Amino acid sequence: MIIFCKNFKRLSIFISKKMNSNSLCTVAVCQFTASRSKDANLIIVKRLIDEARKNNANMIFLPEATDFITSDKSEAHRLAESLEGQLVSEYKTVAKKYNVWLSVGGFHEKIGENKMYNTHILIDNTGNIKSVYRKIHLFDVSIPEKNINLKESKSCTPGFEIVPPVETPAGMLALSVCYDVRFPEISLIQRKMGAHILTYPSAFTTSTGAAHWEILLRARAIENQCYVIAAAQYGQHNEKRTSYGQSMIIDPWGEVISQCPKYNEMFPTDESVAVAEIDLETINRIQQEMPVQSHRRHDIYNLSLLANTVETWNDGKPYHFADKLIPSSTVFYQSQYCFAFTNIRCVVPGHVLVSTLRRVPRLVDLNQEEIADLFQTVIKIQKAMELEHNAESSTICVQDGKYAGQTIPQVHVHILPRKQNDFNRNDDIYLELAKHDSDGAQLFRSSEEMSKEAEKLRTYFSI
């Protein structure tokens, strides 16, 4: 362990005993106490990156809420920035200057006026964003006896996608954030997608940290036979929030190979860096010695992922919707078996359609995988449309066959966000839906209007 003194603040560097000159890739986790000041936090981040780079780190990992931590919701929205903002530009510049990959483990990403994501950004050594993950599990937990009362959903919108692992100098890297560590399904899917390294930038509370932090991280490493890298916030941010710390790097056997201190109010020094090596041969050896993946009983159980493949959507070609063609510009989501697109005639604002990719007229014509994928996608789209239109209810409708009102002979689902008193009689929506495709009904929307809406909706799902 090497101790440096800087500006009357002790900055600790913790180096794994396993490090050697033949290291495949050296990584570092950074730990500090973020405040409400973005400028002050950025100064600390630059200092930590400088120290990590001096210790040969090629990839540097920062904790959740690297940009700021505040207890005031309105202030959080005011301080939040888009990915095109000044602060992300600073992170890109630092990554390029030091020639390092940079994981900004938690960034308040502003989307429009009222929405904000908790976003994990991965920046390469040329200053380009390589991947973006928006936290899908929000920490809404109240345990008064442990002095825990946090409701992340009051300020943040949940993400909608597990992003594929990204190739990096250390191997295939998978992105998550903090509370996601309690949901092993994510890491199992990421491992299935080829991940070598799982990341959990965090700001664990002191109570939950003492009880579960190390146990959860080591469990994710062991069950997936992957490295786990977890940068964490440390110390007291304000009168309402104190973070546990103990940033750590764990090998695929579950051994902690480098770590920073746990929170100790008697030792409030907040800045530290833990450095270790990532060796893919270790992963290969452990996976060969105990081939857990090949022992999984896929004939009994399995995990499936609704994959949003925006980069390859039909290669820009129109989608078939029975005898009609749907421009790809109006499609905002695609899974393995279906796609979602904006509607040419809307009964209510936000009225969208989800159709099967395969051209079949009735639900009974679908196989079990297609049925499961269709309705899981419908729920996913429903949540996004309710958020977009500030709705708390939806009408979900399938007109299965021409005598049920189906005018396009291909299985599709109508999703209509609902608001209080949007119809004089609630069930009138079905009358409007039944005639919405008839002559003299709602006017056709322009392709420009539909494409513009689709572009906006893609922000809920795409990188």
Output the domain CATH number for residue 379. 3.30.428.10
Residue 168 has pLDDT above 50, yes or no: yes
Query: What is the structure's pLDDT at 411?
Result: 95
Query: What is the structure's pLDDT at 417?
Result: 95
Indicate the pTM of the whole model: 0.73
Last residue of a domain, one of 247, 264, 295: 295
- The catalytic residue among 30, 178, 338, 397 is 178
Beta bridge partners of 341: 331, 353
- The catalytic residue among 25, 51, 64, 120 is 64
> What span, in angstroms and rounded, lies between the C-alpha atoms of 337 and 325?
17
pLDDT over 70 percentage in the chain: 90
Query: What is the structure's pLDDT at 437?
Result: 67
- If asked whether residues 216 and 318 sit together in one domain, one would say no
Within a domain: 463? no
* Residue 174: other Cβ atoms inside 10 A: 26
> What span, in angstroms and rounded, lies between the C-alpha atoms of 262 and 256?
14
Within a domain: 304? no
- If asked whether residues 267 and 365 sit together in one domain, one would say no
CA-wise closest residue to 442 among 433, 450, 451: 433
Residue 315 has pLDDT above 90, yes or no: no
* Residue 153: other Cβ atoms inside 10 A: 11
The mean per-residue pLDDT over the stretch 62-69 comes to 97
Number of domains in the chain: 2
> What span, in angstroms and rounded, lies between the C-alpha atoms of 157 and 258?
33
Within a domain: 302? no
The mean per-residue pLDDT over the stretch 93-115 comes to 93
- If asked whether residues 285 and 334 sit together in one domain, one would say no
Within a domain: 301? no
- If asked whether residues 274 and 338 sit together in one domain, one would say no
Question: Is 215 within 8 Å of 223 (Cβ atoms)?
Answer: no
**Residue 161 known to be catalytic:** no
Q: What letter would DSSP give residue 145?
A: G
**Residue 196 known to be catalytic:** no
- If asked whether residues 316 and 244 sit together in one domain, one would say no
> What span, in angstroms and rounded, lies between the C-alpha atoms of 158 and 282?
35
Half-sphere exposure at residue 380, Cβ-oriented, CA atoms within 13 angstroms:
27
Instruction: Indicate the average pLDDT of the chain.
Output: 88
- If asked whether residues 279 and 345 sit together in one domain, one would say no
Query: What is the structure's pLDDT at 249?
Result: 98
- If asked whether residues 234 and 377 sit together in one domain, one would say no
The mean per-residue pLDDT over the stretch 152-158 comes to 85
3-state helix, strand, coil in the chain (%, to 5): 30, 30, 40
* Residue 24: other Cβ atoms inside 10 A: 14
Query: What is the structure's pLDDT at 268?
Result: 61
CA-wise closest residue to 244 among 178, 173, 342: 178
Question: Is 105 within 8 Å of 177 (Cβ atoms)?
Answer: yes
Residue 2 has pLDDT above 90, yes or no: no
Rounded (10°) angle between helices 447-458 and 368-388: 90
- If asked whether residues 48 and 124 sit together in one domain, one would say yes
> What span, in angstroms and rounded, lies between the C-alpha atoms of 236 and 305?
38
- If asked whether residues 320 and 419 sit together in one domain, one would say yes
Residue 8 has pLDDT above 70, yes or no: no
CA-wise closest residue to 100 among 46, 178, 64, 63: 46
CATH code, domain carrying 274? 3.60.110.10
Query: What is the structure's pLDDT at 439?
Result: 53
Last residue of a domain, one of 233, 266, 295: 295
| Higher-confidence position of 16 and 307 | 16
Query: What is the structure's pLDDT at 1?
Result: 34
What 3-state class would DSSP assign to 463?
coil
- If asked whether residues 181 and 315 sit together in one domain, one would say no
Query: What is the structure's pLDDT at 151?
Result: 80
Q: What is the sign, positive or negative, of the torsion defined by CA atoms of 315, 316, 317, 322?
A: positive
**Residue 178 known to be catalytic:** yes
Within a domain: 101? yes
292-308 in b/e burial notation, b at 16+ Cβ within 10 A?
Answer: eeeeeeeeeeeeebbeb
Within a domain: 305? no
pLDDT over 90 percentage in the chain: 63
Question: Is 178 within 8 Å of 120 (Cβ atoms)?
Answer: no
Residue 91 has pLDDT above 70, yes or no: yes
Contacts of residue 376, Cβ cutoff 8 Å, sequence gap at least 6: 306, 335
Amino acid, single-letter form, for residue 250: I
Tens of pLDDT, residues 390-446 = 998 999 999 999 899 898 999 999 999 999 999 989 888 888 888 776 655 557 888
Backbone phi, psi, residue 293, to 5°: -60, -40
> What span, in angstroms and rounded, lies between the C-alpha atoms of 134 and 159?
5
Within a domain: 303? no
Place of tokens 């990341």: 199
| Higher-confidence position of 329 and 219 | 219
Tens of pLDDT, residues 246-284 = 999 999 999 999 999 998 876 666 799 999 999 999 999
Query: What is the structure's pLDDT at 18?
Result: 58
- The catalytic residue among 351, 412, 414, 436 is 412
Tens of pLDDT, residues 171-195 = 999 999 999 999 999 999 999 888 9
Domain that holds residue 335: 310-458
Least confident piece of the model among 127-141, 241-255, 361-375, 448-462: 448-462
The mean per-residue pLDDT over the stretch 70-91 comes to 93
> What span, in angstroms and rounded, lies between the C-alpha atoms of 109 and 331?
24
CA-wise closest residue to 68 among 78, 60, 76: 76
- If asked whether residues 379 and 414 sit together in one domain, one would say yes
Distances (CA, A) of 250 to 27, 218, 224, 273: 12, 7, 12, 15
Last residue of a domain, one of 295, 330, 362: 295
**Residue 370 known to be catalytic:** no
- If asked whether residues 285 and 401 sit together in one domain, one would say no
Beta bridge partners of 319: 326
Within a domain: 325? yes
Query: What is the structure's pLDDT at 28?
Result: 97
